[in-house]
């Protein structure tokens, strides 16, 4: 269970970092974002599901972390 928790926390941090970087790089003009949705256009073609599913992905990770944390603690 502890390994699952570590993986989930790692994924949440990784995804959070990617979402943050997408917003940061487009806002600063570092990445091309012609349609102004704060997702680098280069990523949008292949990973649009990853951004459109942001809410549900982070929600599921949060639930998963809460569940495994409860199992680990007690
Ligand atoms: Ca875009």
> Can you give the pLDDT of all 74 residues of the chain as single tens digits?
899 999 999 999 999 999 999 999 999 999 999 999 999 999 999 999 999 999 999 999 999 999 999 999 98
Give the Å distance between the CA of 6 and the centre of ligand 1: 32
Query: Half-sphere exposure (CA, 13 Å, Cβ side) for 8?
Result: 18
pTM (2 d.p.) = 0.87
What per-residue confidence (pLDDT) applies to 44? 93
Give the Å distance between the CA of 57 and the centre of ligand 1: 20
What per-residue confidence (pLDDT) applies to 74? 81
Q: Which two tokens stand for residue 36?
A: 């102004």
DSSP alpha helices (H): ranges in 1-74? 2-27, 41-52, 54-73
Give the CA dihedral 46, 51, 57, 62, nearest 10 degrees.
130
Give the Å distance between the CA of 19 and the centre of ligand 1: 13
Give the Å distance between the CA of 25 and the centre of ligand 1: 11
What per-residue confidence (pLDDT) applies to 36? 95
Q: How far apart are CA 25 and CA 38, in angstroms?
A: 8
- Strand, helix or coil for residue 30: coil
């Amino acid at each position: 269970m502890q390994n699952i928790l570590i993986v989930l926390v790692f994924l949440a941090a990784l995804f959070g970092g990617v979402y943050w970087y997408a917003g940061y790089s487009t806002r600063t003009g570092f990445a091309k974002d012609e349609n102004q949705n704060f997702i680098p256009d280069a990523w949008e073609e292949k990973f649009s599901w990853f951004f459109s599913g942001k809410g549900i992905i982070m929600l599921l990770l949060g639930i998963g972390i809460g569940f495994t944390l409860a199992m680990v603690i007690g």
